[in-house]
A and B are shown apart, each in its own frame.
Chain A
């Protein structure tokens, strides 16, 4: 059986983000990739927990795609995390539904790469802000893979965005071929 990818997008105003739009359009071209727009599915934040869990069970690679706002995930994704990744499903006793799956965090930041330095306005390395994601993987038994970051998402030229999107697409295709990230 071929592997499947769950691409979870969390962007409240997708049509205002060129970068996220291009990334999504690229990912949609792939077969075996389920494109899941959280803000479109749950604009009222009434997440269907059972359905989300079923979806997670049926996929092998989980991708979070979102803008890095206040160096964190958008609120609906946080709510999704709180409600869907519950004890007994994602962790704790009998909570092994995600065990062995792969995880990739893919974000866009409006700040450039050098803002994520001790001297920059974000003060910390971008990966330092990802500890909570990494810990989520650890607790759920998922494999943490190198995060994909597009900096300066508002200043980038279309070409630069496409290069990033293609790279992401290529990684995903490779995963589908090899069966692991």
Chain B
């Protein structure tokens, strides 16, 4: 029976997710809220399809663990070391100030001292799962503020260790005598971690090489999961958060050649489990508790946001984060995190406060989680446009570069342009949100700004005011066009060269009336076409000549189709448009089938 029950639960989870998530995404509320709402509906306080919230949450916490592993993969020890300031500076500030403020407020409203401290600690924490997911969704993980968010979340995971060890002290205060044993324990933990790190460093890579050498995809996946799970388990048995353990495992493998393979293998598990995690958070929203004391609970939720957002704002300001991003930075980690559930649960068993208070607190925490994506939605719709406008008048003052060329996007495409310019001693500034090669590029004299190139403040910091040329080499057509429009609007002096993803994108770029448009695969395909002709025995020059004729003709046809399209065919569906365009290109190219250079036959 139990078996079929589990199976049924799985179906319930999947059905609710499949219905709610796309719906929310369509409306623009984002997938996280979809999961949360699905959870509210199917949970014990909704239509009661699932009752074991704790168990589900426990299972799904593994999603967070996998997430931290993947993030660890992106951060090699060197990069991690460079983050020590934000982690320990901002992290300490965030946890300490929030704990103090929340403890004070709790005490002021009449909770006991231990209870106040506990609430203070619980409410200072944020949700790693939600924070990282929100950053991930908008590709902001490697921006300056995204890194700051991440650093704080990472520090919280470390702080949790301390919090858990304080917990018994709060219940009676008699266990203080065991501090000697505690110290010994800490020492033991540190030794074990160091041993694991060293062993991991030495053994993991050869082991991965061996596993990969077997060429069984599922075994590699199994090993990846095993690696993360065992590391997480080990850390948990040392009373350290599982997520932190997984993160360390990730860091250990960050510069291994299997990084990307591990990432792609873990990714789908992470996605599903995170979804499950948000569902279980939704399930813990107790509607009846809210209905009993709506005013109290809603004001507490509101208060929690006000406190956290203000504290984060102050911290961000103090640590000189870009002004335009401060609100988003503050908001992303403004919720009370899932770890509060654990602390509150533990507190309940230690009888630090009564069951009603506990229930109310849990509901508040769940509501802050529920509200965050909503607030982010409102931020996007209301606040972000305002900030952008303000930026125009008052740009951030960061040291300005004066390189004549800025390349946005330094992947396969931008790199070649950058290298050509480098070879010819043309100073170039690069914008990219892939922190991977930054060290290397800096060493070769590139000015690198990392973050979302469609952000006005980043462009200004990179010295776009004084640049002559902007190369838009971003691969996503959408982002690419966004940057072109932005640059066109704010910096009309610029010559813009853009990489085009496909013909449709070319049309959009022609509409923007920019200097140079280059389809990313056109020249390479054309070159290979020429090579194929030569491979068939056509003479080199004849093949090249025909390639050149084809190129010129194709460019003319595209221009022509673009202008015609504007006049008559605006209502055609995109897919149909593309097919018709292709058909026309073929028809036009049919007329190319004559011989070039007749007269060279002497």
Which residues of A come within 8 Å of B, CB atoms? 11-17, 19, 37, 39-44, 67-69, 76, 108-110, 153-154
**Chain A's nearest CB lies how many Å from the CB of B524?**
14
Most A C-beta atoms less than 10 A away, residue of B530, B541, B544, B601: B541
Which A residue sits closest to B600, measured CB to CB? A13
* A69 in contact with B602 (CB, 8 Å): yes
Contact with A along B579-600 (1 / 0, CB 8 A): 0000000000000000001001
Interface presence of B255 (CB below 8 A): no
* B541 in contact with A12 (CB, 8 Å): yes
* A44 in contact with B544 (CB, 8 Å): yes
A12 proximity list for chain B (CB < 8 A): 539, 541-542, 545, 597, 600
Interface presence of B540 (CB below 8 A): yes
* B601 in contact with A39 (CB, 8 Å): no
Interface presence of B94 (CB below 8 A): no
B601 proximity list for chain A (CB < 8 A): 13, 16-17, 154
Which A residue sits closest to B597, measured CB to CB? A13
* A67 in contact with B540 (CB, 8 Å): no
Contact count A vs B, C-beta below 8 Å: 51
* Chain B contact surface mostly: helix
* Complex A-B, nearest 9 residue pairs according to Cβ-Cβ distance, in ascending order: A43-B540, A110-B602, A43-B544, A39-B541, A16-B601, A67-B602, A40-B540, A12-B541, A13-B600
Contact residues on B (Cβ < 8 Å of other chain), bracket: 10 to 19
13 residue pairs from A and B, CB less than 8 Å apart: A11-B600, A13-B542, A13-B597, A14-B539, A16-B600, A16-B601, A40-B540, A42-B540, A43-B530, A43-B543, A44-B544, A68-B602, A110-B602
B544 proximity list for chain A (CB < 8 A): 43-44
* B540 in contact with A39 (CB, 8 Å): yes
Given contacts A13-B539, A13-B541, A39-B541, contact A109 B602 (CB under 8 A): yes
**Chain B's nearest CB lies how many Å from the CB of A7?**
17
A110 proximity list for chain B (CB < 8 A): 602
* A154 in contact with B539 (CB, 8 Å): no
Bound complex: CA of A16 vs CA of B539, how far in Å?
10
Q: Tell me which of B530, B539, B602 contacts A108 (CB under 8 A).
A: B602
A14 proximity list for chain B (CB < 8 A): 539
Q: Tell me which of A19, A40, A76 contacts B539 (CB under 8 A).
A: A40
Most B C-beta atoms less than 10 A away, residue of A12, A19, A40, A154: A12
Bound complex: CA of A40 vs CA of B597, how far in Å?
16
Which A residue sits closest to B601, measured CB to CB? A16
Bound complex: CA of A86 vs CA of B26, how far in Å?
67
* B600 in contact with A67 (CB, 8 Å): yes
Q: Tell me which of B541, B600, B602 contacts A43 (CB under 8 A).
A: B541
**Chain B's nearest CB lies how many Å from the CB of A77?**
12
